[in-house]
Copies of this chain bind each other. A is one copy, B any other.
């Protein structure tokens, strides 16, 4: 049979990141292209013990169908966390448990965006969410990133020129892929513009807890008095991504629509892993655990930056993230970035070409993403040395 696919899916290519991830399952390649949390950050013993307790105390609850909104005890715990830890007043908001933060992008877009509507995003931004928006036929408009977040003048210009904009998508902390943190002033400005132009903001915050230097900046959601923000948090980076448990906080009417969308998508998130997250919050010291992970990432990030500063051609620049998993390197003017990435893979080091993260993949781009959480320290030293030689040969 000759297959005729839907317009939305025909326009989508497989995520370059997932394809590269598959390539990096080759154990001979140093995985700077991945986005995996460090395996030694997983609290394996605790999760294993918690799971034994769940099967001992409530096996049927762990295996039976549950409600779409999420495991009630986990929802309550997340509401507490969001209100007391992140300063989001929950009176006007509601919370839904979702299957990874990726589903937050999917459901937000499903609820708000018609085919042909505009979604404004940071440029570069997380390809997984950009593709989710594309899968609903959204038109993406990218706003260049500056050192402290989106260029807000260009954001307002885009809002003026695209009156059918429904959503501004931002990752304010240690952004994927750039590692950039949006300043308080720009967060306030993004919210002000969302209110002025009557659009919603999706604040995607998977990395926010993984701060290893500098001062925490209030979330946009914590300043949201008029119901313009969907906040998405996740257990993927602070606990483990294989669990596929995250949560979205938004005004009640929007969460009601996202719940209807989730009924259609997967009925509910795996209940066993929801219970694991709930038991972890109830019985473990989250602050101490996050401190431990942040220490791991601080050291790994510092090691990678030290190696880059020592080994790379000085013509290559890089960001200095205050947290998260990624940094962003930019080659000198005139450099062929895709050629560099291909040479890197041939030399057994995988990085992600920056172009993969752009709203319009035909925009010129001299940057690439490097991940410091997945590789071992030994591989960070070795991989950066290989890349460094390449940069010195070429630039």
Q: A12 near B: Cβ within 8 Å?
A: yes
Q: Which B residue's beta carbon lies closest to that of A198?
A: B1
Contacts of A270 in B (CB 8 A): 99, 242-244, 269-270, 272-273
Q: Mark A1-27, 1 if CB is under 8 A from B, else 0.
A: 101111111001111001001100100
Q: A325-358: contact bitstring with B at CB < 8 Å (1 yes, 0 no)?
A: 0000000000000000000000000000000000
A14 touches B106 (CB 8 A): no
CB of B100 within 8 A of CB of A267, answer: yes
Residues of B near A8 (CB, < 8 A) are: 110, 114
A-B contact pairs, 10 of them (CB 8 A): A6-B112, A15-B263, A42-B60, A51-B51, A64-B242, A99-B244, A105-B264, A134-B264, A242-B272, A270-B273
A266 contacts partner chain B, Cβ-Cβ < 8 Å: yes
Counted per complex, copies of this chain come to 2
A22-79 residues with Cβ-Cβ distance < 8 A to B are: 22, 25, 34-37, 39, 42, 44, 47-48, 51-52, 55-56, 59-68
- Bound-state CA distance A156–B95 (Å) is 46
CA–CA, A330 and B5, complex, Å: 39
Nearest chain B CB to A225 CB, angstrom units: 10
- CB of A366 within 8 Å of the partner chain: no
Decide if B62 touches A242 in the complex (CB within 8 Å): yes
- Complex contact A55–B47 (CB within 8 A): yes
In the complex, which range does the number of interface residues on chain A fall in? 35 or more
Say yes or no for A113: interface residue by CB 8 A criterion: yes
Chain A positions 96-119 with a Cβ under 8 Å from a chain B Cβ: 99-100, 102-103, 105-106, 110-115
- Please name 20 further chain A to chain B contacts, defined as beta carbons within 8 Å, in addition to the given A51-B51, A131-B260, sorted by A numbering: A3-B254, A5-B112, A5-B254, A6-B111, A9-B257, A13-B260, A14-B263, A42-B60, A63-B240, A65-B241, A99-B270, A100-B266, A106-B264, A128-B263, A132-B265, A135-B261, A243-B270, A244-B271, A270-B270, A272-B272
A251 proximal to B (CB < 8 A): yes
CB-defined contacts of A263 to chain B, threshold 8 Å: 14-15, 18, 128, 131
Q: Is the beta-carbon distance between A266 and B242 smaller than 8 angstroms?
A: no
- Complex CA gap A166/B59 in Å reads 41
By beta carbon, the residue of chain B nearest A39 is B60
Instruction: State A244–B325 Cα separation when bound (angstroms).
Output: 29
Q: Chain B contacts of A187 at CB under 8 A?
A: none
Given contacts A64-B242, A99-B99, A265-B132, contact A59 B42 (CB under 8 A): yes
